[in-house]
Amino acid sequence: MSITKLTTNGIVGAKYDTVSADNYYMEPIATTLLTSSQTVISFTNIPQGYKHLQIKGFARDTEAAAGTDDMWMTFNGDGSASYSRHVLSGDGTSVTSGANLSTTRIPFGNSIPRTGSLASVFGVLLIDILDYANGNKYKTVRGLYGANENSTNTGFRICVNSGLWMNTAPITSISMQPEAGSFATNTRFSLYGIRG
Amino acid sequence: MSKTATYSLIATASGTGSSNTISFIDIPQTFTDLILISSAQSASGQRQQYFEFNSDTTQKYSRTILSGTGTSAVSARDSNQFQTYLDYYGVVESTFPGSAITHFLDYSNTTTFKTMLTRSNDPSLGLDAIVHLYRSTFAISRIDIKLNAVNYSTASRFKLYGIQAGNA
């Protein structure tokens, strides 16, 4: 039998809202699909009525060399050293782990194939931003992302990361850009709101 | 604020006990992305699952893997394969269900190769994060999931969802 309803009846200590399963759903907020290269993709005036956000990205950049670039994410136009992240990645041969503390953005390392890599290959990013509208918490981000070009180039990886924005302000805008060059044509980022 | 469902259930499938293949055919091309959720058990033993797209069994598949076994973390890579496996350590067991979730972004795009992300889990062996590449610009209209060497048990369940992005 599937779970369709939760109530507080008979529960001591914990407090839950009475909800129905069909109140929970994911809504598309906005999509940017590039028909020409563009340096920064931003979602602005983000509605504050959701519980969490999710970004799905399909990206490539215009850098001529082979390999991949990082994608950088910032919130509310904040370019101060208010971010940190940890990453676990596999390059097809080795597993590496890294951390960046007090940085000016959240990097999604090795996520974006460059124009000089195998043609028609795009990196894929799934990014969750939890409690984005809460005015009492720092903001937590998690990502699953990667790219493959059917080669032994260790710049092409599968990665999981977590990020932090040390600011309690609700997130009203999100900006993304490659660490070098611009996002290439056919790059797409979609923003979804998750109700809760 | 208007309420627009994002996840649409396209199709479900169950193991029959007499086949190692689950097929989703004539996939609508009206969504932006797909998500395939697998809760699978084998008829016997630990087995790997793999994808074939559009009935294509040429060497157009490759993947990069990140896995944890409980005692070590490993990474591996397959190139020029005839299919792409959903798992490395997060395989399918016969006595309990294993889970695998695969995200297909821009599956209907006819100008780009297809990149997919999978998370797969076997509580007894390990877990995987995998990025796949299918080097074809054809839209994905058919997905076959196959179990290596044995049939899916009748306890196996598969669901394919379409994800509709907002207007560009």
* Whole-complex ipTM: 0.93
pLDDT value of position A12 = 43
Note the pLDDT of residue A22: 47
| pLDDT at position A10 | 45
* Mean pLDDT calculated for residue range A22-47: 90
Per-residue pLDDT reduced to its tens digit, A110-156: 999 999 999 999 999 999 999 999 999 999 999 999 999 999 999 99
Largest distance between two CA atoms of chain B: 50
Q: Are B72 and B127 within 8 A, CB to CB?
A: no
With an 8 Å Cβ cutoff, is A138 touching chain B?
Answer: no
Is a pLDDT exceeding 90 seen at residue B35? yes
> What does the pLDDT read at residue A103?
98
Q: Which chain B residues contact residue A192 at CB under 8 A?
A: 6, 165-166
Quote the pLDDT of residue B6.
Answer: 75
For B66, the closest of A88, A118, A126 (CB atoms) is A88
Which residues of chain A have a CB within 8 Å of the CB of B164? 28
- pLDDT at position A13, please? 39
Task: Determine, for residues A58 and B62 on separate chains, whether the beta-carbon distance falls below 8 Å.
Answer: no
Q: What is the mean pLDDT of chain A?
A: 91
B85 has pLDDT over 60 = yes
Q: Does the pLDDT at position B114 exceed 90?
A: yes
Q: Centre a 10 Å sphere on the Cβ of residue A68 and count the other Cβ atoms it contains.
A: 28
Instruction: Over range A19-34, report the average pLDDT.
Output: 74
DSSP category for residue A22:
G
* pLDDT band, residue A35 (cuts 50/70/90): very high
pLDDT tens-digit map of A87-102? 999 999 999 999 999 9
* Whether pLDDT at B99 is above 80: yes
Q: Which of B33, B79, B167 sits opposite A150 (nearest CB)?
A: B79
Model pLDDT, residue B5: 62
Q: What are the counts of helices (DSSP H) followed by strands (DSSP E) for chain B?
A: 0, 12
For residue A88, the chain B residues in CB contact (below 8 A) are 66, 73
| Nearest C-alpha in A relative to B33 | A56
The span from the CA of A153 to the CA of A181, in Å, is 20
Nearest CB among A29, A90, A121 relative to B133 is that of: A121
pTM of the shown model: 0.92
What's the whole-number mean pLDDT along residues B144-163?
97
Q: What is the pLDDT of residue A8?
A: 43
- What token pair was written down for A179? 């660490």
Identify the pLDDT of residue B164. Answer: 85
Contact yes or no for B75 and A91 at CB 8 A:
yes
pLDDT (average), residues A22-50: 91
User: Pick from A125, A116, A105: which is nearest to A55 by CA?
Assistant: A125
CB contact under 8 A, A28 and B113: no
Taking an 8 Å cut-off on Cβ atoms, the answer to whether B131 and A158 are in contact is yes
Is the per-residue pLDDT at A5 higher than 70?
no
What backbone torsions phi and psi does residue A21 show, to the nearest 5 degrees?
Answer: -60, -30
| Chain B residues within an 8 Å CB radius of A190 | 32-33, 165-166
**Range 15-74 of A in CB contact (< 8 A) with B:** 25-33, 47, 49, 56-58
Nearest-Cα residue of chain A relative to residue B34: A56
Percent of chain B with pLDDT over 90: 92
Mean pLDDT of A169-185: 98
Instruction: Determine contact, residues B32/A190, Cβ cutoff 8 Å.
Output: yes
Q: What are phi and psi of A23, to 5 degrees?
A: -85, -15
Predicted local distance difference test score (pLDDT) of residue B2: 46
CB B67 within 8 A of CB B163: no
Alpha-carbon distance B83 to nearest alpha carbon in chain A (angstroms) = 13
Residue among B46, B11, B78 nearest B150 (CA): B46
Quick one: A185 exposed, middle or buried, by C-beta within 10 A (0-12, 13-18, 19+)? middle
Q: Are strands A188-194 and A26-33 parallel, antiparallel or unpaired?
A: antiparallel
Q: Does the pLDDT value for residue A21 go beyond 50?
A: no
Partner-chain contact B6 A192, CB within 8 Å: yes
Q: Which of A31, A126, A147 sits opposite B165 (nearest CB)?
A: A31
**Local structure of residue B59 (DSSP, 8 states):** S
Q: Which residue has the higher pLDDT, B1 or B152?
A: B152
pLDDT tens digits, one per residue of B44-66: 999 999 999 999 999 999 999 99
Q: Is the pLDDT of residue A19 over 90?
A: no
Task: Determine the average pLDDT of the residues in B29-39.
Answer: 96
Give the closest-approach CA distance of B45 to chain A in angstroms: 27
**Interchain CB distance below 8 Å, B65 and A33:** no
Tell if the CB–CB gap between B75 and A191 is shorter than 8 Å.
no
Shortest distance, CA B165 to any CA of chain A (angstroms): 5
Looking at the partner chain, which of B77, B111, B117 has a beta carbon nearest the beta carbon of A124? B117
Give the single-character DSSP code of A61. Answer: B
